[in-house]
Amino acid sequence: MLPLRQKAPWCGHCKKLKPDWDKLADEFAGSSKVLIADVDCTGAGKPLCEKYGVRGYPTIKSFSPPDVVGDDYKGGRDLAALKAYASDLGPGCAVDAMENCSEEQKKALATYIAMDPDERANKLATLSKSLKDAEEAHEALLKSLQASYKESMENLEKLKAGAAPEIKLLKAATPSAKVETPAKDEV
């Protein structure tokens, strides 16, 4: 099991997490089940971060063999939360490691074990392609939205720059409203 913190050296959240992450790594240093690691997504680790779809920092992913996709960690970022999460990690459930499977996992896995190997491979390929296509569509949408936002922002800034002098003159040419002092009622 590998919890992996993907980070950027300039990231404030990464810097804040680092002391607790380092303590976590120290606590699991001798573990045969858990390895705590760091990846610099702006340096040599950039291809790895791109491979696993890291979009923000710090990203914490865990990998339990035979899983090669990884799970995103969404829990707390303090030492206690990280330690509780890492303590529950270990090798994953697989046909070659049935001792790691719960009864529920064994039942779910039995369906796929019984499946024809070619059918299983095709199903995996189909689901993986669907996920990849959805991610690519999402990225295309994001780029489109960013381009639209940038264009809108540029148009707004041009309008502001063009209208500002005239707005200033219009305001300057408009007399101030006189404030009348209310009459006092005497009782």
pLDDT digits (tens, 9 = 90+) for 114-148: 999 999 999 999 998 998 999 899 989 999 999 99
**Residue that wins the pLDDT comparison between 66 and 41:** 41
* DSSP states of the chain: -EEEEEE-TT-HHHHHHHHHHHHHHHHTTT-SS---EEEETTTTTHHHHHHTT--SSSEEEEE-TT-SS-EE--S--SHHHHHHHHHT--SPPBTTBGGG--HHHHHHHHHHHHS-HHHHHHHHHHHHHHHHHHHHHHHHHHHHHHHHHHHHHHHHHHHHHHHHHHHHHHHHHSPPPPPPPPPPP--
**Residue that wins the pLDDT comparison between 143 and 177:** 143
In this structure, what token pair is assigned to residue 1?
């099991």
pTM across the whole model? 0.56
**Mean pLDDT, the chain, integer:** 87
pLDDT of residue 5: 58
Q: What residue spans define the domains of the chain? A: 2-114, 116-171
Taking the C-alpha atoms of residue 8 and residue 45, their distance in angstroms, rounded to an integer, is: 10
Q: What is the CATH number of domain 2-114?
A: 3.40.30.10
CB pairs under 8 A, 24+ apart, for 69-72? 70/4
pLDDT of residue 187: 62
pLDDT of residue 6: 59
pLDDT of residue 1: 45
11 an active-site residue?
Answer: yes
User: pLDDT tens digits for 30-44?
Assistant: 888 888 888 888 888
Catalytic residue (one of 14, 41, 49, 93): 14
pLDDT of residue 4: 55
Taking the C-alpha atoms of residue 85 and residue 4, their distance in angstroms, rounded to an integer, is: 12
93 an active-site residue?
Answer: no
CA atoms within 13 A on the CB side of 7: 17
3 backbone dihedrals φ, ψ, rounded to 5°: -80, 130
In this structure, what token pair is assigned to residue 69?
């996709």
